[in-house]
Each structure stands twice: as C-alpha cells, then as structure tokens.
Amino acid sequence: MKALLQRVTKSSVTINEKMFSNIDNGLLILIGIHKSDETKDIKYIVDKCINLRIFSDKNDKFNYSALDMKSELLIVSQFTLYADVSKGRRPSFFESASPLDAEKIYNETIEEFNKTGLNIKTGEFGAKMEINLVNDGPVTILLDSKL
C-alpha cells in the first residue's frame, strides 16, 4: 500500500460539481492499494500517517503528529499511485489491486483510521473527483508499506 501525505491548511473533494467533503488544517492522504495488500499493510500505513511527526512546533521543527495535533484527515483512493511508466508512454496499473479488491481494502483502511479518534473525511471510491488543496509548507511525503 502506498500513501501520499500532504499537509494542508484546507482540502476538499467535489463530485459532480457538489462538495462531498472538506477539512481544515490536517492531512490529505491519497491511498493506493497494491494487489498483494493485506491487514498488516493497512496497520502500517494508518500508524505511520497518524504518528509521523510532520507538524511544526513554535521553532518550526517537525515535532508533532496528526494525532498530537488532533488533525483532520481527508482520505482519497488513488489507484494511479501504482502507475508503471517504465515502458512506453501509457501508464500500466498491473500492480494495482482490482477494483473489487481495492474497494474492500480501502474500506478496511477507513475503518482503521476511524478507530484513531481523529476526524476522518473521505472521497468516494471509484468516483471521478475534483480534489482541491492548499499545501502547507509544502510538506508532501510518500509512504510505502512494501519498503
């Protein structure tokens, strides 16, 4: 599983020109599901996302986690995180989970995030979404449960 974390001052998901969800001061987390992902991958990604110290203290040092800050999280499924562009000019998504499997793992991932007590918002799995964000820092970090 891959997760692309972006620290944001605000972020929102719009579907069919209607606001679906939004957050202030937290993390936009794009989640890519690998075809071999299982429970241990979910737990690794959730633990890293909520405990990674990427929020600054008064001295501008990364000292606080999303859990420490009681940050809001906006979590969006993003199969293109597993794009393979090593051959040709069109990305291949061979490593991505099938839509049916990915939706199951994504929902389990959201359930695990909900157990953290943080305010969790999501996109809609499989929908065409417009994601807006104001990146704070910018701070953008790619996590991979397979590394």
Catalytic residues: 80
The rounded distance, in Å, linking the Cα atoms of 85 and 74 is 27
97 phi/psi in degrees, rounded to 5: -65, 155
Edge to edge, the sheet with strand 72-77 lists: 119-122, 72-77, 18-32, 2-15, 130-144
Count of beta carbons in the 10 Å neighbourhood of residue 25: 15
DSSP run (H or E) holding 68: helix 66-69
